[in-house]
Homo-oligomer: A and B are copies of this chain.
Amino acid sequence: MAGATKRLTIDGRFSMRRGAYLESPSMAYETWGELNAAKDNAILIFSGLSPSAHAASSVEDPSAGWWEDMIGTGLPIDSKRFFVISVNSLGSCLGSTGPASINPENGKVYRLDFPVLTLEDVADAAHAVVESLGIDQLHTVVGCSMGGMSGLAYCVQHPQSVCAFVSVSSTTRAEPFSIAVRSLQRELIRSDPKWRDGNYDAEDPPLVGQRLARKLGMISYRSAEEWVQRFGRERSTSTLASPGDRFQIEFSVESYLENSAQKFSGGFDPNCYLYLSHASDLFDFAEHGGSLQAAFKRLELERALVIGVRSDILFPVHQQRDLASGLREVCPDTTLVELDCSKGHDSFLVDMDAFRPVICDFFR
């Protein structure tokens, strides 16, 4: 674990929303800036499914973070003004307790004995971190992609401890297209014989299934429009192809997917991926009160910002509009920004010039 990572052990039994508990789970997090005396300048950031807590570089860990251009001195989430906290989601394999962690009750890796994970659990575990830092009320909760749903869960479960909420390319609950994509991604991993019902050999994980799942992910994270501009029908010059293979890589878009898949698939525990992906499908904000309207009424936000991207097919822009409408009912100071980025869902990671001014305005 890199030098910037802090760790909290949540003592005792941590109850999970769908039943069962975790014994004294750990949370990995990083912080930037200083908590002020009034303790009212803290921002909590929830990431998408796969990143670690390392959202930005720091003296302790100078490597670039997943939102490097957003967090830091003089950046939109300005660490000179704010105390910024980024958590690794509960259920992940990047520092926080998840299916790849050892169950302290029996000394074995949880694997599929890990209880069903929900984004409400992710939110509550992050809340424990916030409490441990002596913060009663957050200035803002920011969540990207899956993290936007975790953030919404945080706001509805701890309404008095959040002043403002920023949702980046997220939603109140997944639509069936996104569920279908994620369900198939999970099945690709589970269909790899090396997955062995979750009992894969750590030295020989289901890399084929993970690689295929990542390719499907990329198809849903980017946009057709971007790829027309970027690749068209350009042929690949890659050396990834096996000569003589009838169906070898031929088009640039194929080698792009292959490169992306090879980079990702070794770096994430397959069971953790399955749990977090499943949690994304399960989340339904309407469960908090019986309807979306009732759920929104539980919030006590002063300000909210919803950002979406027109080319996003995974969290489509009509879902951003619905989220903003719901928030506005209970929090009139809600802003909706629809960005015309072409890079699909991933725009919040790769089209920073479009996102920075919006986040900057919000925190000005």
- Of A177, A186, A231, A253, most B-chain CB atoms within 10 Å: A177
Answer yes or no: A173 CB below 8 A from chain B CBs: yes
B175 and A187 within 8 A (CB): no
CB neighbours of A224 from chain B (8 A): 175-177, 313, 316
- Of A116, A173, A176, A188, most B-chain CB atoms within 10 Å: A176
> In the bound complex, what is the Cα–Cα distance between A233 and B173 (angstroms)?
9
Answer yes or no: A281 CB below 8 A from chain B CBs: yes
A274 and B253 within 8 A (CB): no
> In the bound complex, what is the Cα–Cα distance between A216 and B185 (angstroms)?
10
In chain A, residues 132-178, which have Cβ atoms closer than 8 Å to a Cβ of chain B?
A: 173-177
Q: 0/1 per residue, A227-266, Cβ < 8 Å to B?
A: 1101111000000000000110111111001000000000
CB neighbours of A192 from chain B (8 A): 191
> In the bound complex, what is the Cα–Cα distance between A229 and B170 (angstroms)?
20
> In the bound complex, what is the Cα–Cα distance between A175 and B13 (angstroms)?
52
> In the bound complex, what is the Cα–Cα distance between A257 and B228 (angstroms)?
28
Answer yes or no: A180 CB below 8 A from chain B CBs: yes
CB neighbours of A230 from chain B (8 A): 176
Answer yes or no: A212 CB below 8 A from chain B CBs: yes
Taking the nearest CB of chain B, how far is it from the CB of A10, in angstroms?
A: 23
> In the bound complex, what is the Cα–Cα distance between A234 and B177 (angstroms)?
13
Total interface residues on A, using CB and 8 Å? 50
Q: For the complex formed by this chain, how many copies does it contain in all? A: 2
Answer yes or no: A183 CB below 8 A from chain B CBs: yes
- Of A247, A257, A274, A282, most B-chain CB atoms within 10 Å: A247
Q: Smallest CB-CB separation from A187: which chain B residue? A: B212
Answer yes or no: A109 CB below 8 A from chain B CBs: no
In chain A, residues 23-37, which have Cβ atoms closer than 8 Å to a Cβ of chain B?
A: none
| Contact for A215 among B177, B187, B282, B313, CB less than 8 A | B187
CB neighbours of A249 from chain B (8 A): 183
Answer yes or no: A357 CB below 8 A from chain B CBs: no
A-B pairs with the 8 shortest C-beta distances? Answer: A177-B224, A176-B253, A176-B227, A176-B231, A183-B254, A112-B246, A180-B253, A184-B215
Q: Assuming A176-B251, A180-B219, what are 15 further A-B pairs, CB within 8 angstroms?
A: A116-B246, A175-B228, A176-B233, A176-B253, A179-B251, A180-B227, A181-B219, A183-B253, A183-B254, A184-B215, A187-B212, A187-B215, A190-B247, A247-B278, A250-B281
